[in-house]
Amino acid sequence: MIRALKEKYKTEQVFWGVIFIAPTLIGLIMLNLKPAVDTIILSFQKSTGFGNQIWTGLDNYRRMFHDVEVWQAVGNTFIYALLTVPAIIILSLLVAVLLNQKIKGISIYRTIYFLPVVSTPAAVAMVWKWLYNSDYGLINFLLSKLGIQGPNWLTNPHTALLAVAIVGIWSAVGYNMILFLAGLQEIPKDFYESARIDGASPAKQFFSITIPLISPTLFFVTVTTIISSMQVFDLIFMMIDTTNIVMPKTQSLIYLFYKQSFILNDKGYGAAIVVLLLVIIMFFTAIQLIAQKKWVHY
């Protein structure tokens, strides 16, 4: 193989190539790859404190398969993903299409939609926690003006995850909108012009021109949104108190990982939970990579 490479590239080129990608490569190996491998190793160990571990084989995994809390968290994570992913994709595509027109003050609208992305997640969660408060929260106050008795958003097991998901959607739309906007601006205007001449309705134009042409962006957004929604943590951590009765019904896998690793100091078990999440995410991403051949047009 080395000989084949040597014939194809000049040593000089390889040398400089390596030098140039070194900063990224070293960063990737040290900050991403090595910790990932360490985590997998840690999941087969039991930590006895302060970086000391003993090898326990599959103990953590055996315990995990009998742990109701873990499977409840898997369920919670899936429900959260189901609530947020379709909404994020549809809303951000909709906003991107609407903001891809020549209207006055377009940059102001774009800024408004992008603002949640720039805000600190912790601060966002705190403000939303106030909005959701059942006593003095703005949301229930407005609902009461309409004659509706609002639910106890964050302490009712039926609404808590939905409440968290709404914040998740609200803060993710702006970022994906920007990606879609970039995709939309790549589409040549003449396609729409000729479609209009042929008498295609705006809806027809959207489904026959826009969707196929931004399918690479759509694919990218779908993959990243699913991954990030499976990794939800900060919103739950900030908005659901540990003494809240809905905690078992809202905690995600990452929250459980945090609890086991950093509150209960069971780092080995925490690592096993995160490996489970890794497997789940890899599974869904693999399915998408196979399915994309059918609908993504490059």
Partner 1 sequence: MKKSKYLGYVIAALLLVLGVSACGSKNSSQSGKKTTISYAIWSKNQEAGMNAIARAFEKKNPNIKVKVEVTPWAQYWTKLDAAATGKNLPDVFWMHSQEAYRYMSNGILMDLSNVVNKDLGKKNYPQAITNLYTLNNKVYAVPKDIDTVALWYNKTLFDQAGVKYPDSSWTWDTLLENAKKLTNADKGIYGLGAFNTAQSGYYNYIFQNNGKVLNAQGTKSEFNNKDTQAALQFYTDLILKEKVSPSVQEFAENSEASFFESGHQAMGTFGSFYMNEFIQNDYVTKNCDVAILPKGKTRASVSNGLGNAVAANTKHKAAAIKFVKFLGSKQGNVLQAEKAGVIPAYTAVANHWVKAFPQFHSQVFVDSLKYSKVLPHSKNTVKASTLETEVLTKVFSGKESVDKGTQQIYSGVNDILKQ
For partner 1, which residue of 8, 243, 279, 290 counts as binding (CB under 8 A)?
243
Touching partner 1, residues 156-185 (CB under 8 A): 156
> Which distant-in-sequence residues (6+ apart) come within 8 Å of 67 by Cβ?
none
For the packed helices 106-118 and 160-186, what is the interaxial angle rounded to 10 degrees? 130
Only segment of 77-85, 138-146, 219-227, 243-251 that touches partner 1 (CB under 8 A): 243-251
Cα-based angle 172, 173, 179 (whole degrees, multiple of 5): 100
Q: How far is the CB of 291 from partner 1 (least distance, A)?
A: 40
| Closest C-alpha among 135, 142, 91 to residue 116 | 91
Touching partner 1, residues 102-131 (CB under 8 A): 129
Neighbours of 282 (CB within 10 A): 11
- Give the separation between CA 34 and CA 52, rounded to whole angstroms: 18
Pick the closer one to partner 1 by CB: 219 or 258: 258
Neighbours of 254 (CB within 10 A): 21
Q: How far is the CB of 179 from partner 1 (least distance, A)?
A: 33
User: Is residue 198 close enough to count as binding partner 1 by CB under 8 A?
Assistant: no
Q: How far is the CB of 49 from partner 1 (least distance, A)?
A: 5
User: Is residue 51 close enough to count as binding partner 1 by CB under 8 A?
Assistant: yes
Q: Give me the torsion for CA of 251, 256, 262, 265, rounded to 10°.
A: 140
Only segment of 36-44, 54-62, 208-216, 255-263 that touches partner 1 (CB under 8 A): 255-263
Instruction: Please count the residues of this chain forming the interface with partner 1, following the rule CB under 8 A.
Output: 29
| Residue at 264: amino acid letter | L
Which residues of this chain interact with partner 1, rule CB under 8 A?
12, 15-16, 19, 49-52, 129, 132-135, 152, 154-156, 240-245, 247, 259, 262-265
